[in-house]
Structure 1
Amino acid sequence: MSTRPALIVTGADLASQALDILRDFEIVYAGKTPTEPDLVALCRQHDPVAMIVRYGKVGAAVMDAAPSLRVISKHGSGTDTIDKDAAKARGIEVRAAVGANAAAVAEQALALLLACAKSVVPLNARMHAGHWDKATHKSVELGGRTIGLVGLGAIGQRFARMCDAMGMTVLGHDPFAKDLPPYIRPVDLDTIWRESDAISLHCPLTADNANLLNAQTLAACKRGVLLVNTARGGLIDEDALLQAVRSGQVAVAGLDSFAVEPMTAGHPFQGEPNFVLSPHIGGVTSDAYINMGVGAARNVLAVLESTPAAAA
C-alpha cells in the first residue's frame, strides 16, 4: 500500500501537467460517472487528504467518509456540485480554478450568440437539403444592438470584450464585480431584462438565483430577445423558456447547460427549431483541460501547504 497521501479525482483522468504537480500524491480516479456511494467507498478505502472534482456531486456523506480531507478543488470555476456549507462545517476548504476555462467558455458563448443571430444551424440544414434561401432569409445584425450580461467574472468580462469589439452596447449585472472596464455599463436586473436585445448568463448557480429566468422575467424582456446560457442550467426555468421560445418572446435560445445533465432522449427542447444546443462543452478544449487541471492541482498544494493538519 502506498505511503503517499491519497488524492481522489472524480473523473477518469487529469492532464499530465497537473499530475506532474501532484507527483507526491497517490492519485485515485473515480471514473467519469461517479455516484455518491462510489465516492463514499473510495474515501473509506483511501482516506484522501484532497479531492479534485470533475464530475458528480460531493456532499456531507462523502466528506464524512474522509476524515483526513482538507481541500476540495474544483476542476473548473463552478462549485455548485460541492456542498460548501458542509465543507465549511468540517473545516474543509473549497477552491475553484477561477479563470482557467474563461477563454474557452467565452468563445462558446460567442459561438452560440452568433449561431442564434445568424441562423447558422437551420441554414446549414437547408443548404445540405439543396435549398438556397438568399432571397427569403434575413439574419440579425449584432452591431449596434444591446447585450445584457448576468455575471461579470473572468468569463463574463472576456465575453463582454468580444461583444464590445463587435460594436454592441454592453450592459452588465454583478453585485460583486469591481473596477469594470468602461465599455461595460453596470445596471440592475430589471434594466437587463428591459433593454437587452440579447442576454447571456455567466453567473454561478446559488440558492438565491435558481430559475432566475422564469415566466415573469422572460415576459419582462424585449420581444424576440436572443438568450445564451453557458453557465448553469438551473438558472433557467426550462418549461417557461420553452413556452417563451414557442411564443416568439425569445427568438432563439443557445444553451450549453441544462437543469439535468446529461440531457436524455425525450427532452422537450429536442426537435424545437429555435434552440441551439451543445452538451456542456464550453470549457472543454485541450487548452482549458490543461489549465483547469493545473489550476486545481495548484489549489490543492496551496491549501495543504498552509494547513497544519495536512503536514502531520
Structure 2
Amino acid sequence: MSAAGKKGVVLVTGVDLAPQAVEILRDYELVFAGAKPTEDDLLALSTQHQPVGIIVRYGGVTGRVMDASKALRVISKHGTGIDTIDSRAAQERGIAVRAAAGANAPAVAEHTWALVFACAKNVVGLDGRMRAGHWDKSTHKSLELQGRTIGLVGLGAIGRRVAATALSLGMRVIAHDPYAKEAPAGVQLADLDAVFAQADVLSLHCPLTAENRHMINAQSIARMKDGAILVNTARGGLVDEQALVAALASGKLRAAGLDSFEKEPFAAPHPLQQVGNVVLSPHIGGVTEDAYIAMGTGAADNVLAVLEAEQAMA
C-alpha cells in the first residue's frame, strides 16, 4: 500500500499483526521489522521511516532507537511486560509507553496451570518412561493439589485467574503484591517471605524490575518448603537459573515449570536441558489465536489513543 495519504508510520518489531489490529491502524503506514530485529535493525528502520509509533513484539527499544525518529510519540507493547522498553529513556524524551494490560491473561493463566499439573503429576517424565517400556504404577506417587498452598507473586489479571482456578481445586491461596489494595475472596495477602515459606507451589506473575531481578535465588529457595514446585510464566530474569538447577538436582525442589528464561531465545546447550525434573516451554504462555488478536488490538488501540490525544491538543 502506498504511504500517500497516511498520517505517519508505525513500526512493528515483528513480521505481522492481527488483521483486526491492522484495521485499527488503517490510517497509518505499517512497517514490519522482521522476526528477530536487532537494535541496529530498529535504528536503521527508525532513521529511514521516522515512525510516530512503535509496537513492540520482539526485541527491545532503547534510547538510541528512540532518538532515531524525531516523530516518535508512543511505544506500545504487544503484551503486558514492558521490561524490553527503556521506560526511563522514553519518559526523558516525552514518549508515552503503553502495554496491552490483561490481553493475554487467560492464555498465560491456562499455561501456568498446564505447567503446575505437569510438575505435580510428572506428566512428561511418565510419558518418557512409558515410551521406554516401563510401567511405574507401583512406584510412582503424584502430588495431590487439594489442600495444598499455592503462593502467587503478583496479583494482577493473570495472578487473579490463577488464584480462581486454585480455589476451585480446593487449594489455599496466598499472594504477595505490593500494589494490590485488596485481594479476591478466598485469597490471603502476605509478605514475600511468608509466601516463600508456606507455598507448596510458588507461581510468579510479576513484572521484572531492577529490584526483583533474581528474586528466586539460593537464599529464597532455602526458605521454601522441601519438595515445593516453582512455576514461572512471567519473566526469566526473576529466577537465578544456576541456583534453580542446583535446587532441582538436590531435591530441594520437587520440580519446576518454566516458560521464560534469563536469555531468550533459549540458547543450547543450556544446563536446564540436562535436568529431568523441569518442564520447559519457549515463552509461549500468551501465544494463542485469541491472545494474538487481543494483544494486537490492545497495542493498536494504545497507539491510536496517544496519537489522537496529541492531535486533539495540537
Fold similarity call, TM over 0.5: yes
CA distance in structure 2 between the partners assigned to 1:205 and 1:121 by the alignment:
29
Q: How many residues align?
A: 311
CA distance in structure 1 between the partners assigned to 2:51 and 2:244 by the alignment:
42
Aligned-residue Cα RMSD (Å) equals 1.1
Q: Identify the residue that residue 3 of structure 2 maps to in structure 1.
A: 2
CA distance in structure 2 between the partners assigned to 1:58 and 1:150 by the alignment:
27
Three-state SS of the structure 1 residue aligned to 2:279 is strand
CA distance in structure 2 between the partners assigned to 1:92 and 1:162 by the alignment:
38
Counterparts in 2 of 1:239-250, with a 5 A limit? 239-250=242-253
Q: Does residue 82 of structure 2 align to residue 82 of structure 1? A: no
Give identity over the alignment, percent.
Answer: 61
Q: Identify the residue that residue 26 of structure 2 maps to in structure 1.
A: 23
CA contact (8 A) 1:170 1:183 kept: yes
Gaps of 5+ in 1: none
CA contact (8 A) 1:152 1:202 kept: yes
Match of 1:34 among 32, 37, 59: 37
CA distance in structure 2 between the partners assigned to 1:301 and 1:184 by the alignment:
37
CA contact (8 A) 1:76 1:98 kept: yes
Q: Does residue 39 of structure 2 align to residue 65 of structure 1? A: no
Q: Which amino acid aligns with 2:310?
A: T
State the TM-score, normalized to the length of structure 1. 0.98
Q: Which amino acid aligns with 1:107?
A: E
Q: Deviations over 1:15-73 (max 9, x none)?
A: 00100101000000000100001001000111000010000010100000011101000
CA contact (8 A) 1:304 1:311 kept: no
Q: Deviations over 1:247-300 (max 9, x none)?
A: 111110100000000112110000210110000000000100000000000011
Q: Deviations over 1:178-203 (max 9, x none)?
A: 33212110000110111111100000
Q: Which amino acid aligns with 2:151?
A: G
CA distance in structure 1 between the partners assigned to 2:252 and 2:33 by the alignment:
43
Q: Deviations over 1:104-123 (max 9, x none)?
A: 00000000000000000010
Q: Identify the residue that residue 154 of structure 1 maps to in structure 2.
A: 157
Match of 1:255 among 258, 270, 274: 258
CA distance in structure 2 between the partners assigned to 1:184 and 1:20 by the alignment:
40
Q: Identify the residue that residue 142 of structure 1 maps to in structure 2.
A: 145
CA distance in structure 1 between the partners assigned to 2:313 and 2:11 by the alignment:
18
Shift of 1:96: 0.2
Match of 1:289 among 280, 287, 292: 292
Q: Does residue 275 of structure 2 align to residue 272 of structure 1? A: yes
Shift of 1:302: 0.8
State the TM-score, normalized to the length of structure 2. 0.97
Q: Deviations over 1:166-220 (max 9, x none)?
A: 1110000001113321211000011011111110000000001000001100001
Assess, with a 3 A threshold, how the Cα gap between structure 1 residues 128 and 311 changes in structure 2: closer, same or farther: farther
CA distance in structure 2 between the partners assigned to 1:125 and 1:241 by the alignment:
23
Q: Identify the residue that residue 173 of structure 1 maps to in structure 2.
A: 176
CA distance in structure 2 between the partners assigned to 1:124 and 1:107 by the alignment:
21
